[in-house]
Each structure stands twice: as structure tokens, then as C-alpha cells.
């Protein structure tokens, strides 16, 4: 059986590691937070001790960390133990240029490198129903696909190393734009005298609906405003998207505005405030309360877990 190491047991990583355990993976874990490690050990994982030890003892080591700098530091510890039997999966949302730089070090040591970001929300990461992108050569992808299907539902081979990270920051840019337009839409409807529960349903059955509406609008309306995704992570992702645009000489108008709006939200509510609190900028400006009864305090993925599968693009 393939031995797997998992470094980084935060909001997303802990749930992905949980899916691996639930689906029978031989799993070792590591995190700077000892309590997170203890919880995973209680669920049946082994203590990976350190990134270096995990690369020595595992066939595949997965990193899911909050910043490119954290991933680079962890990989430096692991590199001396990389050889042609080892595979590194980077499941953080990161800069494509950085993952290619680090991946080249892995390749030089004989190992295989994959950028493997996920999309679909923490609640879907918890149930193994999240989507996973994988950037790597086809042979590596086919070798790790069985492992990816234990963590996610829809698996997309995006092309060479780095391609998955480029697509991931694009999707987070779209999600951020959608969140901010929903904040404006809900506030305007409240001011216009519309019932917010009726407004929610009107959006849901319309051409204006989206994944973000179906999930985050509920947390805005319930007053929870806790989607398990903080403004610093949003700012990182939309900043990476803006950088891709600039590197390719694309003059964007909406993207810089989103960055400015999120910066204002951070200044008001804190760098690591929940991203759904962006609605409170408009509540403060208008004196309106954008809440309604009957909406959940947290998101639960009620779809049954299903075996994952590869999604194949039309050619």
C-alpha cells in the first residue's frame, strides 16, 4: 500500500487528511499545532514527526500550507530525502512560478512534483466531494489519481506543473467577485423593501445564481459570516491573479477594485477576518441589517460521498 505523509492540518488540510484516513490510506501527519496532530492520531493516523522523516518514510508527501514561504521552508527540509521513488503534492493555493521553482528542485533530485489545489469550500473538503486540479506529466497523474479520488470527487489534469495553480487563483478571483456583487445585491434588495428569504430564492432559481450564492449567501443571511476562509487568503489569491494579468500585459479594471475593497475590509475588521464579513461594510454604510431567519450557521455538505473520477475536457 502507498504510504502517504500530510503536512499542514489547517481548515482545508485537516479535512483532506481526514478523507484519506476515512478511505483507508496509510497516513502519517505533521503540523506545528500539536493539538491538530493529536486529533488525527486519535482518528488512526501515525505521527510523521517531521517533514524530513515523512519524506524518508513515505512514497507521497502532501503539503497544504498557508503561504508559498511555508511550503518552500518545508520542502527544504524534505529535499535531501527525495529520490526517484518519491512524489510531492502541493495542495496549497500558491504562485505558479514558485511551485515550478520548487518542483524543479524535486525533479532534479529524481522525484515527481504535482501542484494540486482544491476548489469547492471547506464543507466539501470534509466529505471528499471537493474538486481537485493536478498539474504534472500524464504518467505521474495516472499514478496518483487513485490517491486523489480518495480526497475529491472531480479530478482535472490541467497540464504541466504550475497550470493547476494558475487555474485555481482564477477561480478564487471569480468567487471573490461573486461574493462582493452578492453583498451589493442583497443590500440593495433590502433597501428596496424586498424580503431577503424571497430574494435568496429568486437568485437561486435565476441566471444570477452560483456556487458562492448557494453557500456564502446563506452564511451572510444567518449572521454567521464564517465560511472558514479569511480575508488574508482572499487577498493572496486575488493578488496572484492580478500578477498573472500583469505578467501577460492584460489591463484589468475589476480586479484592482476587488483588491482595494478587500484591503478596506481588512482595515475595518482585521487582516484575518472572515471574508463573508465584507457584507458589514455595507451594513455600516447604510444602517441596514442583512440577515433573515431560517438560514444555517454553518455549511454542511449533505451530498453522499461518492468515488472520485477524472473530468476530461472537450477536445
Average pLDDT over every residue of 93-104: 92
Do residues 244 and 166 lie in contact, with contact meaning Cβ atoms separated by under 8 Å?
A: yes
Do residues 91 and 64 lie in contact, with contact meaning Cβ atoms separated by under 8 Å?
A: yes
* 13 plus 59 within the same structural domain: yes
What pLDDT does 136 receive?
98
What pLDDT does 94 receive?
83
Is 231 inside a domain boundary?
yes
Burial class (CB in 10 A: 0-12, 13-18, 19+), 307: exposed
Q: What's the total number of domains in the chain?
A: 2
What pLDDT does 304 receive?
82
What pLDDT does 111 receive?
98
Is 293 inside a domain boundary?
no
Is 291 inside a domain boundary?
no
Has residue 1 got a pLDDT over 90?
A: no
State what percent of residues in the chain have pLDDT above 90: 89
Residue among 269, 296, 277, 275 nearest 11 (CA): 275
* 127 plus 274 within the same structural domain: no
Residue 130 sits in a domain of what CATH number? Answer: 3.40.50.720
What pLDDT does 123 receive?
82
State what percent of residues in the chain have pLDDT above 70: 100
Query: Which structural domain, as residue segments, surrounds residue 114?
Result: 3-162+303-311
Is 298 inside a domain boundary?
no
* Cell numbers for 163: 497550470
| pTM reported for the whole predicted model | 0.93
Report pLDDT digits (tens) over 281-315. Answer: 999 999 999 999 999 999 887 788 888 999 999 88
* 70 plus 180 within the same structural domain: no
Residue 223 sits in a domain of what CATH number? Answer: 1.10.1040.10
* 147 plus 259 within the same structural domain: no
* 35 plus 149 within the same structural domain: yes
Has residue 190 got a pLDDT over 90?
A: yes
Average pLDDT over every residue of 196-217: 97
* 141 plus 170 within the same structural domain: no
Has residue 120 got a pLDDT over 90?
A: no
- State the chain's mean pLDDT as an integer: 95
Amino acid at each position: 500500500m502507498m504510504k502517504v505523509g500530510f503536512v499542514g492540518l489547517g481548515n482545508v488540510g485537516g479535512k483532506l487528511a481526514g478523507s484519506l484516513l476515512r478511505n483507508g490510506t496509510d497516513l502519517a501527519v505533521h503540523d506545528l499545532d500539536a493539538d491538530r496532530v493529536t486529533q488525527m492520531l486519535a482518528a488512526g493516523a501515525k505521527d510523521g514527526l517531521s517533514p524530513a522523516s515523512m519524506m524518508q518514510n513515505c512514497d507521497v508527501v502532501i503539503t497544504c500550507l498557508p503561504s508559498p514561504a511555508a511550503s518552500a521552508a518545508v520542502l527544504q527540509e524534505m529535499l535531501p530525502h527525495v529520490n526517484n521513488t518519491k512524489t510531492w503534492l502541493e495542495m496549497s493555493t500558491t504562485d505558479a512560478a514558485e511551485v515550478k521553482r520548487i518542483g524543479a528542485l524535486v525533479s532534479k533530485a529524481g522525484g515527481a512534483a504535482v501542484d494540486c489545489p482544491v476548489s469547492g469550500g471547506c464543507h466539501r473538503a470534509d466529505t471528499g466531494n471537493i474538486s481537485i486540479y493536478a498539474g504534472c506529466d500524464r504518467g505521474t497523474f495516472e499514478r496518483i489519481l487513485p490517491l486523489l479520488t480518495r480526497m475529491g470527487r472531480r479530478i482535472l489534469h490541467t497540464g504541466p506543473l504550475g497550470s493547476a495553480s494558475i487555474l485555481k487563483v482564477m477561480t478564487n478571483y471569480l468567487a471573490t467577485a461573486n461574493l462582493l456583487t452578492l453583498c451589493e445585491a442583497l443590500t440593495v434588495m433590502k433597501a428596496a423593501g424586498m424580503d431577503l428569504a424571497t430574494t435568496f430564492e429568486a437568485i437561486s432559481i435565476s441566471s444570477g445564481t452560483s456556487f458562492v450564492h448557494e453557500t456564502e449567501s446563506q452564511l451572510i443571511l444567518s449572521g454567521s459570516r464564517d465560511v472558514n476562509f479569511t480575508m488574508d487568503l482572499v487577498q493572496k489569491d486575488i493578488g496572484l491573479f492580478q500578477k498573472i494579468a500583469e505578467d501577460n500585459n492584460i489591463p484589468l479594471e475589476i480586479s484592482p477594485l476587488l483588491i482595494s475593497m478587500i484591503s478596506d475590509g481588512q482595515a475595518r475588521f482585521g487582516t484575518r477576518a472572515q471574508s463573508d464579513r465584507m457584507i458589514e461594510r455595507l451594513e455600516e454604510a447604510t444602517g441596514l441589517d442583512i440577515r433573515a431567519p431560517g438560514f444555517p450557521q454553518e455549511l454542511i455538505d449533505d451530498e453522499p460521498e461518492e468515488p472520485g473520477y477524472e473530468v476530461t475536457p472537450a477536445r
